[in-house]
Amino acid sequence: MAARITASLTFLQHILAEVLRPGDLAVDATVGNGHDTALLARLVGPSGLVHGFDVQAEAIESAGRLLAAVGLAERVRLYALGHERLAEVLPQADHGRAAAVVFNLGYLPGGDETRVTRPETTLAALEASRKILAPGGVIALACYGGHSGGAEETQAVAAWCRSLPFAGWRVARYELINKPGGPIVAFIAHKLQGGASTQNASGVSLATD
């Protein structure tokens, strides 16, 4: 079964498939129904590990069912907690080891539309992600402008991404500009190895110019 980031953002899937390797550590910061978690779990393989966060216990339960159904539950640890707590929750040994941290922002389609991600906690989680990211790792975000507060959150994420120093980071933005109901914007923040190397945590070469 093919997992998805969102039907419209296969772009992020391609990047993650390029970056993640068997044995890697990854974080799904917004688990929802677990589709993205399943994608990450597949990419890191049986020797890898995915930590997943969501504030809604129902989402964690739903994701747990999906992961069990597709035989991926053993490589995933799920937390019914806000992603802003991820650095405090992850074992110290995993700090600096995550090859990817993934955010699919907004609300859970088909769920409670008032339980949206919010700029304050998203920005706190992005700062926490910096602490746990491996050199060569990526932070991948999908942002939605169509719901209340979505445009402001996209702007806050864009400003955070822009503030990352060029000496150690490369950040790309990809936008679906013709989507009815508001744009979808993806950001990929790539933390360079040693500030200038071209390889990710798994030794995959990435362009740095």
Ligand X SMILES: C[S@@+](CC[C@H](N)C(=O)[O-])C[C@H]1O[C@@H](n2cnc3c(N)ncnc32)[C@H](O)[C@@H]1O
Q: Which residues contact ligand X (rule: CB under 6 A)?
A: 30-36, 53-56, 59, 82-84, 104, 106-108, 115, 117, 121
Taking CB positions, which residue lies at the least distance from ligand X? 32
At its nearest, how many Å lie between ligand X and the CB of residue 156? 14
The token duo for 208 is: 């740095």
According to DSSP, residue 53 is labeled: E
- Give 4's contacts (C-beta < 8 A, 6+ positions apart): 10, 13, 35, 36, 39
In the bound state with ligand X, the residue whose beta carbon lies nearer, of 39 and 206, is 39
At its nearest, how many Å lie between ligand X and the CB of residue 53? 5
List the beta bridge partners of residue 98: 25, 133
Residue type, 119: P
The token duo for 45 is: 């393989």
At its nearest, how many Å lie between ligand X and the CB of residue 189? 18
In the bound state with ligand X, the residue whose beta carbon lies nearer, of 108 and 161, is 108
- What 3 state SS string does 104-140 have? ECCCCCCCCCCCCCCHHHHHHHHHHHHHHEEEEEEEE
